[in-house]
A and B are shown apart, each in its own frame.
Chain A
Amino acid sequence: MGFDADAVRRDFPGLDLQVHGRPLVYLDNAATTHKPKVVLDEYQRVYLEENANVHRGIHTLSQLATEDYEKARRTVARFLNAATDDEIVFLRGTTEAINLVAWTFGRERLVKGTNVVISGLEHHSNIVPWQLVTDLTGAELKVVPLDEHGDVTIEAFEATVDANTAMISVAHISNALGTILPVKEICQIANSRNIPVLLDGAQGMSHDHPDVQALGCDFYVFSGHKVFAPTGIGALWGKMQHLEAMPPWHGGGEMIETVTFEGSTYAAPPARFEAGTPNFAGAIALGRALEYLESLDEDAMVAHEADLLAYGTRRLEEIEGLRIIGTAPHKSCVLSFVIDGIHPHDIGAVLDQQGIAVRVGHHCAQPVMAHFGLPATTRASLSMYNTRADIDALVEGLKTVKMLFS
């Protein structure tokens, strides 16, 4: 059975817009995805029917909110195939999750003389937290170089990891180019050397359903808003043995066991890392978004996205002077490109006038741009609700760009 992208699209009311008098063609999904109506409804329902602080009250509303919040935790755990629900920590998103691991787990391991290995494809949020920590501890940041396709090969990875590597933190999928990293192989090598691995799943969640036990990683982190849920919510999955050994990061309510002025003792995970009132409405909506995703035919969705990538690549390559940046053999549906003599800013502005939303710039991955000697690219990033018609609209839009600037 095929994947009915048009039917899926109808579940997303935010796509049914006019921009500058033209139907919206939304191709900026790597930045954020749209939300299905079931998620929007659920988000509102929480505030209408069970608005109360979780884990606090004995009253009915608080109990309802707490039950749904913990149900969302179970949903995330199931989606990721976590060993236990308590391995899921709700946080603001990928950035906060990486910072948490860097400042607790990382800070204790990354002593002087050790190193943390990342790849040349990382988003700034998987670079800067490690720089902050290693600057403090004197550990080294090592980077796996990219090849000419914007790919991370196992050979390059093995050549970078050494006897002093204490941590590995790499993207599952590159936001700037769409490269799917060989994360399973990376984890296998890391496991054989007893090096913990964090996978940045910001892009992986919606395109390459992660099974954390099958992958063999130690941490997997993601943002809800990139997987059809609201902003301001995301999660960290960590192996319980690690979470239990990690010190708290943020102090406050909910993360404690006992508090006196002489000292405090801390709650067990995940509460230890959820200081303050959590974004329970966001978490419940995130759970709903993952349930929605689970209701779709995953194999058909993967095939649909592969078709979009193949079709989009072929159509864009027909445009004279256009060069696709990032041609790794394993890619998600991201089309990052440059056109001879036309600045990405100009491309983005003219596409916008035609209702086509793309990202232009360095995509918060300046080292990736530097690798290709480019200041910026134009990036069309697709999602399951995009269709070939969206790609056709992009191609027509780019013809107008070429006409205007030739």
Chain B
Amino acid sequence: MNKLTVEELYDTFEALDDWMERYKYLIDLGRELAPLNELERTEENRVKGCISQVWLVADPITEAGTLNFRADSDAHLVKGLIAVALTLFNGKNAADILATDPGDVYGRLGLDQHLSVNRRNGFVSMMQRIKGLAHHSHTA
């Protein structure tokens, strides 16, 4: 499981000097992310995106009412961005997930261009799906 906290992400990013170091760190985060297996990389789990492919799986809701997601991509940087997203969302309940604005976090990490630049990015669609799933579990 990913035990990283958002605060740790901020600290690490701040300590890194330039974009290349930050990208290296992001790529490493992506490499540490457990890949989804072939059975999970289904069309149903695929989040449609123009450039990169993203697959997202929601685990069953825990007894405590928290949600956990696992996701994967064919692009390294996107995997790193996914690792950040999962750090942000996993282990939270639906209401907290819905109240979280990932834009703030990515802005602080200097990664917000990845959120806004390509509206057809699979990663952006993944964020929407996480929120959609949280909303669904919240109202179900």
Contact = CB atoms under 8 A, between A and B. Distances in A.
B8 to A, nearest CB: 22
Interface stretch (B69-77, B82-90, B91-99, B132-140): B69-77
Interface residues of B, number: 15
Given A360-B51, A375-B53, A404 B23 contact: yes
A400 interface: yes
15 contacts: A343-B74, A346-B75, A346-B78, A349-B77, A353-B19, A353-B20, A360-B51, A361-B50, A362-B50, A375-B53, A375-B74, A376-B51, A400-B20, A404-B23, A404-B27
B19 A345 contact: no
A353 B77 CA distance: 13
B24 interface: yes
A20 interface: yes
A345 B76 CA distance: 9
B26 to A, nearest CB: 10
B109 to A, nearest CB: 14
Given A345-B52, A361-B50, 10 more contacts: A345-B51, A345-B75, A345-B77, A345-B78, A346-B76, A375-B53, A376-B51, A404-B23, A404-B27, A405-B27
B77 A346 contact: yes
A273 B75 CA distance: 46
A376 B114 CA distance: 18
Contact of B24 (A375, A376, A404): A404
A38 interface: no
Contacts of A400: 20
Nearest to A353: B19
B23 A350 contact: yes
A376 B122 CA distance: 14
Interface string A317-360: 00000000000000000000000001111101110010000001
Contacts of A343: 52, 74-76, 78
A254 B78 CA distance: 50
Interface of A: 20, 342-346, 348-350, 353, 360-362, 375-376, 400, 404-405
Contacts of B114: 349
Interface string B20-62: 1001100100000000000000000000001111000000000
A368 to B, nearest CB: 15
Contacts of A376: 51
Contact of B51 (A353, A361, A404, A405): A361
A375 B51 CA distance: 8
A349 B20 CA distance: 11
A376 B78 CA distance: 15
B110 to A, nearest CB: 11
Most A CB within 10 A of own CB, among B23, B27, B51, B53: B51
Given A345-B77, A346-B77, A20 B51 contact: no
A67 to B, nearest CB: 41
B76 A405 contact: yes
B115 to A, nearest CB: 13
